[in-house]
C-alpha cells in the first residue's frame, strides 16, 4: 500500500497533567504516515484525487490548537480517529512527540498505529 506522510508538523497546544502545564502552550511535533492508494491521483494528475496533505495538516493543527487534553495518548488517539474518519485513510501510523518534557531527553511521546493490521 502506498503511503502519504507528514513529518515534523509542529503545533502549539495546551497539554499536560501538571498545574504549570495547564497555564502555558507547549510545542508538539507530529510525524504521520497514512495508507492511501496513490494510483488514481497519479493517473489523473488532479489534486482532487489525492490525499491533500495540506488539508490534513490544517485539520490537525486546528484540532490540536483548540484541544486541552491531559495526556498525549488521548490526543494521539483523537488525531488518528480524525484521519481515519474524515479522510480516505485506511491505516495511520502517528508519532506524537513532546519536546523538552523530560530533562535530558530531546523528545518523549507515543507512537500508535490504527487501521487494519495487514496494512502496516
- Three-class SS state of 13: strand
Residue whose grid cell is 523528545:
107
Strand arrangement, sheet containing 3-13:
3-13, 26-35, 92-97, 109-114
Residue 54 annotated among the catalytic residues of the structure: no
What is the Cα–Cα distance from 60 to 34, expressed in whole angstroms? 13
Of 54, 58, 95, 98, which is the active-site residue? 98
Supply the angle between the helices 53-66 and 72-86 in degrees, to the nearest 10.
140
42, 50 contact by CB (below 8 A) = no
Residues with a known catalytic role: 98
Amino acid at each position: 500500500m502506498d503511503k502519504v506522510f507528514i513529518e515534523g508538523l509542529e503545533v502549539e497546544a495546551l497539554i499536560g497533567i501538571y498545574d504549570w502545564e495547564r497555564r502555558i502552550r507547549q510545542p508538539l511535533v507530529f510525524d504521520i504516515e497514512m495508507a492511501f492508494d496513490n494510483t488514481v491521483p497519479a493517473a489523473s494528475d488532479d489534486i482532487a484525487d489525492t490525499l491533500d496533505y495540506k488539508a490534513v495538516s490544517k485539520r490537525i493543527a486546528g484540532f490540536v490548537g483548540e484541544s486541552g487534553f491531559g495526556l498525549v495518548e488521548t490526543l494521539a488517539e483523537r488525531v488518528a480517529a480524525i484521519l481515519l474518519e474524515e479522510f480516505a485513510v485506511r491505516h495511520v501510523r502517528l508519532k506524537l512527540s513532546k519536546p523538552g518534557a523530560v530533562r535530558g531527553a530531546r523528545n518523549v511521546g507515543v507512537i500508535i498505529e490504527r487501521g487494519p493490521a495487514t496494512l502496516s
